Amino acid sequence: MASSKSYIKGFFDNIRERVEDRAEKNLRESLPMLAFLMHEYALEEMKKNKKSSMTGNWINSFGIALYRDGRFVAVATSHDEEGQTPVHITLAAGDTFNQWEVRYDGKKQFHAFTATQGTEHFYANEEVIEWLQKYPPTRKKGFSFRAVSVVDYTDIVGGEKVLLRLADDFENMGGIVTEYNLG
């Protein structure tokens, strides 16, 4: 027969696991709202900087992941909010987005644009998920969030401000984004 001490320990371990499972469920449910905030901030930054997301990759390059004990649990991306898939892969240095080419938002591009930076071609929404799964946070105990923007030029268009504002807003809600990264 189990001792009362081991019975009590098992009882509290069971409670702890139930509480952590409930916390994980609540945190998962908060991810879409956080993706929405990133999306809105990105739109504001584009307007402020008079920039655009011609291919749809920059606006879709933001994501936030939830980890439990260092293990990837869930992710939400700005693509979840935008709902519009990029029209083609990111532009790398020397690539041109041609005049009258259809943009991600369905409008036509009025002038040709040649990228001055960028090293790889990818779809940002896919790269966000891959990056967040591949690089977990350094914190290995408890819950943590990690936010990222993956396009090469994100700092020029205001991506760092988007991530910092997300971290500030999330902290004001009683949480903390433990790490964020620009690509």
Strand-pair partners of 67: 72, 144
Average pLDDT for 86-107? 86
The packing angle between helices 159-172 and 4-48, to 10°, is 140
Q: Is the pLDDT of residue 183 over 60?
A: no
In angstroms, rounded to a whole number, what is the distance separating the alpha carbons of residues 14 and 6?
12
Residue with tokens 């997300």: 166
pTM of this structure: 0.79
In angstroms, rounded to a whole number, what is the distance separating the alpha carbons of residues 128 and 78?
10
Q: Which of 48-52, 65-69, 139-143 has the highest mean pLDDT?
A: 65-69
Alpha-helical (H) ranges within 61-179 are: 78-82, 124-134, 154-157, 159-172
